[in-house]
Amino acid sequence: MNPQSPTFAAHVLRKTVLDMAYAGKTVHIGCAFSIIELLAVLYRSHLRYPGNDPKAAARDYLVLSKGHGVMAQYACMRELGWLPDEAFSGYFADGSDLKGLSDSRVPGLEVTSGSLGHGFSVGVGMAMGAKLRGTDQKTYALVGDGEINEGPIWEGALFAAHHQLQNFMVIVDANGFQAMGPTNEVLHLGSIEAKFASFGFEALTVEGHDEAAIDSAILQLRASGSTAPKALVAKTVKGQGVPFMENNNMWHYTRLNPDTYAQALAAVAGSAA
């Protein structure tokens, strides 16, 4: 498989996630579904991979700091032809290279993430390296809103602003939940956009499942001319695309059974109509 112009259609990506989760009897479906449109826009319109090579020296960087959402990224990598079909049907089987968290040993995954809060700073370092080399490479770090409870996020943000890393963009998957409950109950964040702005970022908030709005916001931030790092806060729905999963934090750790798998596939197929 080596498609020339993958569409990254959201319903196709969600079906791939469901197939993987069911085949591997694994979890983290809801937090993969909330970032589908964000990843689709990035891969379709913004990330550059010369020669469609995930290891190209001049590539842009996508750091999935919320590494537990990696099935959504695997689905995009499948569309690019970077992963064979058998990697999906054999997900989580003995000998599988694909894990339930982002693993930098897989070409296309820039970081090993799972211990939340650290991928952001790795991305900041990548952006600093590109600036020192004088390249035009961009770094996008995708974090969860629960993840930004972590102190290293804000240390990295101070560094990015101090060094005027305009080639760095953090995208916050603000789905309102983290593993143990609603984000505002675990640790209230207030205005995420205002927080990043106060740390010296140029920040915007966008509807995180509106692909045209996401694309426009990224272009607006990139075209501003400001030397500040960028922050895009995406208001998303955990479990988006399958009604019984939406805003239902049970689907952070719940596994599919034959009935829920069939129901979820039907819902995703219906969204394509």
List, as one string, the DSSP characters of 12-72.
HHHHHHHHHHHHHT---HHHHHTTHHHHHHIIIII---GGG-TT-TT--EEEESSGGGHHH
| pLDDT more than 70, % of the chain | 98
| Mean pLDDT value across residues 83-105 | 93
Q: Which residue has the tokens 């970077």?
A: 82
Find the mean pLDDT for residues 210-224. Answer: 98
Q: Which residue has the higher pLDDT, 114 or 230?
A: 230
Asked if residue 2 has pLDDT above 70, the reply is no
Q: pLDDT tens digits for 137-181?
A: 999 999 999 999 999 999 999 999 999 999 999 999 999 999 999
Sequence-distant contacts of 256-260: CB under 8 A, at least 24 apart: 256/18, 256/21, 256/22, 256/25, 256/29
**Which of the four pLDDT bands, split at 50, 70 and 90, describes residue 4?**
low
Q: Average model confidence (pLDDT) for the chain?
A: 96
For residue 183, what is the DSSP state?
Answer: H
At residue 216, the 3 state secondary structure works out as helix
Q: Would you say residue 187 has pLDDT above 90?
A: yes
Backbone phi and psi for residue 231, each to the nearest 5 degrees, phi listed first: -135, 125
Residue 228 in this model has a pLDDT that exceeds 70: yes
pLDDT at 271 (0 to 100):
87
What is the predicted pLDDT for the residue at 172?
Answer: 98
pLDDT of residue 86: 92
Question: Is the alpha carbon torsion for 111, 191, 232, 180 positive or negative?
Answer: positive
Express each pLDDT in 58-68 by its tens digit. 999 999 999 99
Residue 242: closest CA among 268, 208, 261, 209: 268
Q: Flag whether pLDDT at 264 surpasses 50.
A: yes
pLDDT at site 5: 73
Report whether CATH 3.40.50.970 matches the domain 10-271.
yes
Residue pair 168/127 in contact (Cβ under 8 Å)? The answer is yes
Q: Where do the structural domains in the chain lie, given as residue ranges?
A: 10-271
DSSP result, 120-175:
HHHHHHHHHHHHHHT----EEEEEETTGGGSHHHHHHHHHHHHTT-TTEEEEEEE-
Structure tokens at 263: 């129901």
pLDDT mean over 254-261: 98
- Cβ 30 vs Cβ 247: under 8 Å: no
Residue 272: its pLDDT value, please? 83
| Cα torsion angle, 177, 180, 184, 186, sign | negative
Residue 1 has pLDDT above 80, yes or no: no
